């Protein structure tokens, strides 16, 4: 898909290793594998590498549990791509406004939460949903009010905090 999703403001990118067994496209929502059990049905070992949301897969196999894992370990948006078979560093934007398609068109207000989207128990790497009652897995916050929008522009909420430190 390789889509430039950056809209405005500095991106404050970090360089993170993408493993050779992983394909990452520009515009993918990326998590940092910083704790055991984020991939492979909860059997993975943390390796501090970048992975697209589609590779999240904890031991508890529900969409909500995978949305929580993704939001808790959300690094940012891939600024470049990495082909499968190549282990290399990629740039991941950790701040700024980005535009992503919604899973389905919605009306939303400024500040409303954008969350990981998925189907079944799997997450999409380049789609989001709006906050729903009872769930709060924020990736970012809507920039403005929109009536029946097919996409949302939101300010990223990354695990990279002030001074470039992982929270």
pLDDT per residue over 14-59, tens digit each?
999 999 889 999 999 999 999 999 999 999 999 999 999 999 988 7
For residue 130, the SS3 value is: strand
User: Which of the two residues, 167 and 37, has the higher pLDDT score?
Assistant: 37
Instruction: For residues 117 and 69, give the distance between their C-alpha atoms in angstroms, rounded to a whole number.
Output: 12
Residue with tokens 């993704």: 70
Query: What DSSP element (H or E) covers 66?
Result: helix 63-72
* pLDDT band at residue 8 using 50, 70 and 90 as cut-offs: confident
pLDDT on residue 26 = 95
Instruction: For residues 144 and 35, give the distance between their C-alpha atoms in angstroms, rounded to a whole number.
Output: 34
pLDDT on residue 162 = 56
Percent of the chain with pLDDT over 90: 61
Sequence-distant (≥ 6) Cβ neighbours of residue 133 within 8 angstroms: none
- Radius of gyration, alpha carbons of the chain: 15
pLDDT on residue 151 = 94
The pair of structure tokens assigned to 141 is 């916050």
> Which residue ranges make up each domain of the chain?
6-93, 97-164
Instruction: For residues 96 and 87, give the distance between their C-alpha atoms in angstroms, rounded to a whole number.
Output: 27
Q: What is the dihedral of CA 83, 66, 140, 133, to 10 degrees?
A: 150
């Amino acid at each position: 898909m390789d889509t430039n999703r950056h809209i405005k403001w500095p991106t404050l990118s970090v360089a993170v290793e993408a493993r050779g067994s992983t394909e990452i496209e520009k515009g993918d929502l990326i998590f940092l594998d910083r704790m055991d059990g984020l991939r492979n049905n909860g059997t993975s070992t943390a390796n501090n590498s970048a992975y697209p949301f589609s590779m999240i897969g904890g031991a508890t196999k529900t969409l909500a549990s995978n949305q929580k894992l993704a939001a808790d370990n959300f690094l940012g948006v891939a600024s470049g791509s990495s082909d499968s078979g190549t282990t290399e560093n990629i740039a991941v934007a950790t701040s700024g406004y980005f535009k992503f398609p919604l899973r389905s068109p919605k009306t939303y207000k400024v500040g409303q939460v954008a969350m990981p989207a998925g189907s079944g128990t799997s997450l999409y790497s380049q789609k989001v949903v709006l906050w729903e009652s009872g769930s709060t897995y924020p990736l970012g916050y809507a920039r403005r009010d929109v009536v029946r929008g097919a996409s949302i522009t939101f300010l990223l909420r990354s695990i990279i905090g002030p001074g470039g430190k992982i929270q």
